[in-house]
A and B are shown apart, each in its own frame.
Chain A
Amino acid sequence: MAPPAPRDMGDSKYLDVTAVGKAFKGTSVMSGMDFRVGRGELVSLLGPSGCGKTTLLRIIAGLTTADSGEVLLDGRAITSAPAHKRNISVVFQSYALFPHLTVAENVAFGLRARGHAKTDCGPKVAEALALVRMSDFAERKVAALSGGQQQRVAVARALIVDPVLLLLDEPFSALDRKLRETMQVELKTLLRDRNMTAIFVTHDQDEAMGVSDRIAVMNAGQIEQFATPSELYARPASAFVMDFVGLSTRLNGEVIESTENRSTIRSAYGTVHAPGTFVPGTEVTIGVRPELVKTRAAENTLRVTLADAMVLGSKTQLHGRAEAGDCLLCEVPGMNSDYAPGDTVTFGWDVADTLVYETGT
């Protein structure tokens, strides 16, 4: 199978989606979509259902035709190439294993479709099954497999043909939580070792953060931000990204005073300060990641009445009473049972840790 090549972060435009548009029955799903992935990169398309992430995946795979725009792979235009000529493997949410074939026959399918005789496929099938630790199941019917085993078979079936790109549509969503985490680590290691370029579609931010080098957060047919997981978390480009990736304390307010790179904002819980310059009167949404909120006074300080204190093991979450649309959240490390609902607590954080967005953008 393919020898490893150095990984890049989109500079080489290994996959280059340019100005792609798609409408279903007159309703636009996406327009002017630009999306670039580097060779060997693991990328996630993250967004709520209906945001167009699966449509983009299907356009890349050739299962849906784009109305406009171009898709290039390794410098070659594939926009109008049919799916079977693209050498792009897809792992479906339901795995889509062929129910009339055994595990080994499923895995061999891609080789047989390429004209290999059934008897020649043996060694490669054995190798692919060994890769996903499914060698003992070669002669089983796929219906007799558990969800995790089916997923392994689907991955082996997709990888045996040495695809130039691997697409995975919600690959973990049919698995229970524990298995999902194991499979994520397993699959990521496997793809890394083979230097596979892969795109995951998911609505689960933990999954996206766990498996990807970069995440494209999608909303209503647009990519809101395309960045590394840490960048997305620390510097979300919009209030949507901030809300979609991770939890945060989130307040709506109005700018009452703004000097150079520092604004004063009036919220329902008192005034707070945030970086950035705004025209006074601007409605803004401010956010702070919960682990940056401390239970002591800081540059921004609010007095909060607790609605709940949840001891989650590695951390304890303090939820403050907040108005609709707002969220007051503080995370303290470890198990901490000093807090009870109804307590009045100080939430404090620094101006530099404050994220601020104009409302409605």
Chain B
Amino acid sequence: MTGRAERIGLLALPGLSFLAVIYALPLFMLLLKSVQIDGQFSFAEYVAFFSDSYNLSVLWRTLRVALLTTGLALIIAYPTAIIMARAKGFWLSVFLVAMVLPMSVGVVVKAFAWTILFRTRGVLNDTLMSLGITDAPIRMLFTETALIIGAANVFLPFMVLPIYAVLRQMDSRLPEAAASLGATPVFRFMNVTFPLSLPGVVAGCAFTFSLAISMYVIPSLIVGERQQTLSMLTARSFLYLRNEALGATISSILLLIAISVVLTSSWAANRLGARQ
């Protein structure tokens, strides 16, 4: 068996070597740049990064935006996933298409759509003013709120689909058994449906958080240069400041965060999986 499994493993070789050359090697060279000053091994770039209060505020904003985006996406995605898991035939197709199709529209297009909605004389402000809710336009574009709403929208499918997949597989008899044992709908959700959906929630949050922490186009278009995120800072370092060491350092920090998210979530998913 082991021999056979090992030989099947050989099938991954082309993919792995492709990744090694195209992805891992340049990444390694990039990481190397962050710990090398004039050919000497040094953490000076990291020390410099973390002693600059502006960098820290960008780091904090990036984390905050990613967390809030993940949270908002989860709140919107969970009910959607429940409805999709119960949908059949035509309506299920409608939901799946509605989830997948927007992914084929570029992020740029979607972010621009949000600017149309959010700008000073945009759809939202015009509506609010014509309804008499506000007299003057509210500043929405270039705010963190707009960024979080826009990002949650773009990343929604990555939250909905894993949760949907888990809920869909759940035995529909389980909530029924719970009901027959006297559990109210709320008790049923809290003690059966939600705990059983946790692996999907963990996966969805890991996807969304990883995407949100490294997003570049959406913040560039919705909030612009004034409120930097780590990705924007990285791009600036490479493209404008021509400071490769700084860019490499920020990239490494981003990568570290992403790796810890992936490891934590896979650990959590394993634990939850083992419980079942």
Contacts and interface: CB of A to CB of B under 8 A. Distances in A.
Contacts of B180: 61-63, 83-84, 86, 88-90, 158, 167
B171 A94 contact: yes
A100 B191 CA distance: 9
Contacts of B171: 94, 96
A161 B178 CA distance: 12
Given A113-B187, A114-B182, A90 B176 contact: yes
6 contacts: A84-B181, A88-B180, A96-B173, A110-B182, A113-B181, A114-B182
Nearest to A109: B181
A83 B181 CA distance: 8
Given A62-B179, A99-B276, A110-B183, 6 more contacts: A83-B176, A83-B179, A87-B182, A98-B174, A98-B192, A113-B181
Interface residues of B, number: 21
Contacts of B185: 84
Given A63-B180, A84-B183, A92 B192 contact: no
A65 B71 CA distance: 37
Contacts of A190: none
Interface string A157-178: 1100100000100000000000
B274 to A, nearest CB: 9
A297 interface: no
B276 A143 contact: yes
A347 B220 CA distance: 94
A333 interface: no
A141 B274 CA distance: 10
Interface string B164-182: 0000000101101111111
A114 B178 CA distance: 11
A75 interface: no
Nearest to B175: A96
The 4 closest A-B pairs by CB, nearest first: A110-B181, A96-B173, A113-B183, A96-B177
A270 interface: no
B174 to A, nearest CB: 5
Contacts of A88: 180
B134 interface: no
Interface residues of A, number: 30
A99 B173 contact: no
A82 interface: yes
Contacts of B195: 100
B196 A100 contact: yes
A110 B183 CA distance: 7
Interface string B185-214: 101100110011000000000000000000
A161 B176 contact: no
Interface of A: 61-63, 82-90, 92, 94, 96-100, 109-110, 112-114, 141, 143, 157-158, 161, 167
B93 interface: no
B177 A92 contact: yes
Contacts of A63: 176, 179-180
A164 to B, nearest CB: 12
B173 A94 contact: yes
A92 B173 contact: yes
A89 B196 contact: no
B262 to A, nearest CB: 24
Contact of B182 (A84, A92, A99): A84
B275 to A, nearest CB: 5
B184 interface: yes
Contacts of A110: 181-183
A114 B181 CA distance: 9
Contacts of A92: 173, 176-177
Contacts of A167: 180
Nearest to A102: B275
B178 A109 contact: yes
Point out which of B180, B184, B195 has the most chain A C-beta atoms below 10 A from its C-beta.
Answer: B180
Contacts of A109: 178, 181, 183, 191
Contacts of B173: 92, 94, 96
B196 A99 contact: yes
Nearest to A105: B191
Interface in B27-60: none
B276 A96 contact: no
Contact of B177 (A90, A100, A112, A141): A90
A96 B182 contact: no
Nearest to B172: A96
Contact of A84 (B179, B191, B275, B276): B179
A157 B174 contact: no
A89 B181 CA distance: 6
A161 B182 contact: yes
B199 to A, nearest CB: 10
B276 A100 contact: yes
Contact of A113 (B174, B176, B178): B178
Contacts of B183: 84, 109-110, 113
B196 A161 contact: no
A113 B177 contact: no
A112 B184 CA distance: 11
Nearest to A157: B181
